[in-house]
């Protein structure tokens, strides 16, 4: 059997342990039935299945089963050889990681209508801030001394993030064939805009050097939050979600170079 330490991260999350237990006890289960048993959102279930992908297989009816490695994982779970410290955890379980990725907040988007007003409010706050500070927003970047009117500046911020949502939808399907769960993803993307939504206010009320450092930190944080948004909104594993968020920022930079905003 493989080194049990390799299983600990996977079994850290109670939802993944439950999936392994279900499949170990009843051999196979369909996605819809599994979601009903777990009581989780579509994206969250896909995320956990993706994390367990090397331990699962699907039959011709698209029902999930444990493969040989999965059966070994189930034996580890059944024999109780998991450290007790793993009993208290969640996805992105370490405290720093949980709050860096705002996991407790994103986890509540399984019922997206609850946090949709918060998501829209963040976008509106960012739009108003850019307008008041007269900053041109270009998704992950800002440029001072905009020549646009206040309404146009505000609209630019809002529609930049709408564009990111559509781009994420497209790449999630193109790369990983993930469809649906659009409202949850939109809610998550709006929440991910929080760091860059507050930047205009820092720009207004701090020195130039402070705002420059703040911009760099907030860009990185926002990039991580977009990745987390894809994890929860589309059920994509973090390493795969980062591919989409990095593609977005590289494309953002390339377009800005092409239109002469970077010299």
154-164 pLDDT, tens digit per residue, is: 999 999 999 99
* pLDDT at position 8: 65
Of 89, 120, 143, which residue is a domain's last? Answer: 89
Same domain, 76 and 195: no
* pLDDT at position 96: 61
Of 43, 68, 89, which residue is a domain's last? Answer: 89
* pLDDT at position 103: 79
Of 41, 66, 89, which residue is a domain's last? Answer: 89
Same domain, 81 and 12: yes
Q: How far apart are CA 207 and CA 26, in angstroms?
A: 62
* pLDDT at position 27: 81
Q: Bridge-partner residues for 138, per DSSP?
A: 141
Same domain, 18 and 117: no
Provide the domain limits for residue 102.
Answer: 97-258
* pLDDT at position 107: 79
Same domain, 77 and 196: no
Same domain, 228 and 115: yes
Same domain, 74 and 103: no
Same domain, 232 and 127: yes
Nearest to 52 by CA among 108, 38, 172, 61: 38
* pLDDT at position 155: 95
| pLDDT < 50 positions in the chain | 1-3, 83-94
Same domain, 79 and 101: no
* pLDDT at position 87: 40
Question: H/E element holding 211?
Answer: helix 208-234
Residue 19 maps to which CATH number? 1.10.10.10
- The token duo for 184 is 């949850």
User: Which residues have CB under 8 Å from 151's CB, separation 6+?
Assistant: 131
Q: Is residue 48 part of a domain?
A: yes
C-alpha pair distances (Å), 213 with each of 135, 198, 205, 209? 17, 14, 14, 6
Q: How many domains does the chain contain in total?
A: 2
Same domain, 121 and 211: yes
Same domain, 207 and 160: yes
Same domain, 66 and 108: no
Q: Is residue 223 part of a domain?
A: yes
Q: How far apart are CA 129 and CA 170, in angstroms?
A: 29
């Amino acid at each position: 059997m493989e080194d049990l330490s390799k299983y600990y991260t996977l079994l850290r999350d109670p939802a993944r342990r439950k999936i392994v237990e279900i499949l170990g006890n009843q051999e196979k289960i369909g996605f819809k039935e599994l979601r009903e048993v777990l009581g989780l959102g579509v994206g969250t279930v896909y995320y956990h299945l993706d994390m367990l992908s090397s331990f699962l297989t699907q039959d011709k009816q698209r029902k999930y089963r444990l493969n040989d490695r999965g059966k070994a994982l189930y034996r580890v779970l059944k024999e109780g050889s998991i450290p007790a410290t793993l009993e208290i955890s969640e996805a992105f379980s370490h405290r720093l990681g949980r709050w860096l990725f705002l996991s407790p907040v994103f986890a509540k988007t399984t019922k997206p209508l609850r946090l949709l007003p918060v998501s829209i409010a963040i976008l509106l706050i960012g739009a108003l801030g850019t307008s008041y500070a007269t900053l041109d927003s270009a998704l992950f970047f800002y440029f001072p001394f905009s020549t646009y009117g206040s309404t146009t500046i505000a609209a630019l911020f809002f529609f930049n993030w709408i564009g990111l949502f559509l781009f994420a939808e497209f790449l999630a399907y193109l790369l990983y064939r993930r469809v649906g769960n659009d409202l949850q993803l939109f809610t998550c993307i709006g929440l991910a805009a929080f760091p860059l939504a507050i930047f205009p206010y820092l720009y207004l009320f701090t020195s130039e050097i402070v705002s420059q450092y703040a911009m760099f930190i907030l860009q990185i944080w926002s990039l991580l939050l977009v990745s987390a948004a894809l994890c929860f909104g589309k059920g994509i594993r973090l390493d795969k979600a980062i591919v989409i968020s990095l593609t977005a920022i590289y494309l953002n930079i390339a377009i800005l170079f092409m239109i002469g905003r970077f010299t």
